[in-house]
Amino acid sequence: MQNKTILITGGTGSWGRELVGKLLEREPKEIRIFSRNESLQVEMRQEFQHHPKLNFIIGDIRDKYEVMQACQQVDYIYHLAALKHVPICEQQPDSAMKTNVIGTQHVIQAAIANDVEKVIYVSTDKATHPSNTYGMTKALAEKLIVHANLREGNTRFVCVRSGNVLGSTGSVVPLFKQRIAQGLDLSLTDSRMTRFFLTLEEAVALLLKATEDSRGGEIYVTKMSACRIADLTQVLIEELATGVVRINETGARPGESLTESLISEFESTYSIDLDVRYYVILPPYPIEGLQDYYAGSVPVDFRGYHSNHALLSKPEIREMLLKGGLLA
């Protein structure tokens, strides 16, 4: 990354801030933060003490011209921008489609037109077996990113597929912590619900791994822990509550599933066990040089990687929260 120009779409969120900190250590020429939220850009500029290598650009990935302009003379793109909250995407599927699918296509077109070296796209476990608008739009965007490697040009495209990032903006743990501190009851949609979790540090390590090692066309997956949301909630109450905090079960919201999957049964056929930390999902069609590069790799030994398998115990959940900096 030394002396490279990097564009981060949606870079004012939790992922973007952590990523910028890691990238600055690698002495890039410039990091462009492209997002719609002016207030968050001002806040982030102050957080990084007006670092001279950070260039903040107000823009929307739904506007192809703005994306084209932002991509000029860029070497790497981290495409983080998305509508990601399941209820909002269910209520406004047209907006989810415009941002998550058409916006991603704009990034692909701009990257190819500007001869960008590599695009790293952040996806989600909800894209594996999509049960809601958010998952469906992210699954479509994954297909666009992987297929873009078949188009003319030198740009390489790679996906990373993540679970829930502990402490990320708008996620469940900061919300529950806030309500516990206020002595308010917690709402849990379904006590049977399980989810994958990883720390923000692990999420950014996944991005950097894909940046450095990918050939183009892969989906990188971190080997991550899963737990029951009910157990996570109990641990937070036990550790943080000073009084009685009740849990009210409200029922799953529209589009919400009980379990998530990082690798589907079908994808297992094309997936490899890369090393102690990562899996790689290969496309079911050939991309020049890609399958040959992984020819000697070890196939995965499962049929689907789901969040209701090998669940963390409550002591293990506590250790996960401590590792993520979410418990004192």
pLDDT of residue 171 exceeding 90, the answer is: no
Considering the candidates 126, 138, 143, 209, report the single residue annotated as catalytic.
126
Look up the pTM and report it: 0.95
Model confidence at 170: pLDDT above 80: no
Which tens digit of pLDDT belongs to each residue from 255-311?
889 999 999 999 999 999 999 999 999 999 999 999 999 999 999 999 999 999 989
Phi, psi (degrees; rounded to nearest 5) at 34:
-110, 115
Task: Tell whether 233 is covered by a domain.
Answer: no
Supply the angle between the helices 103-113 and 133-147 in degrees, to the nearest 10.
20
Residue range(s) defining the domain that contains residue 273: 5-228+258-323
Is there a domain that residue 269 lies in?
yes
Strand partners, 194: 228
The residues, ordered by sequence, that sit 6+ positions from 239 with a Cβ below 8 Å of its Cβ are: 318, 321, 327
Query: If pLDDT is split at 50, 70 and 90, which confidence band does 98 have?
Result: very high
- Does a structural domain hold residue 238? no
Note the pLDDT of residue 328.
Answer: 75
Q: How many domains does the chain have?
A: 1
Strand, helix or coil for residue 184: coil
**Structure tokens belonging to residue 314:** 């409550």
Which of 134, 40, 128, 151 is CA-nearest to residue 95?
A: 134
**327's tokens:** 């418990």
Q: Give a yes or no: residue 245 inside a domain.
A: no
DSSP alpha helix (H) spans, 82-161: 86-91, 93-96, 103-113, 133-147
Within-domain flag for 180: yes
Is 236 contained in some domain? Answer: no
Residue 126 designated active-site: yes
Q: Dump pLDDT digits (tens) for 298-322.
A: 999 999 999 999 899 999 999 999 9
- Is the confidence at residue 116, as pLDDT, over 80? yes
β-bridge mates for residue 160, sequence order:
122, 220
Q: How many CB atoms lie within 10 A of CB 23?
A: 23
Least confident of 39-43, 99-103, 181-185: 181-185
The percentage of the chain sitting over the pLDDT mark of 90, rounded to a whole number, equals 91
CATH number at residue 35: 3.40.50.720
Contact between 81 and 99 under an 8 Å Cβ cutoff? The reply is yes
Burial grade of 228 (CB within 10 A; 0-12, 13-18, 19 or more): buried
Asked if the structure places residue 252 within a domain, the reply is no
Residue 248 lies in a domain: no
Degrees, nearest 5: CA angle 203-208-212: 150
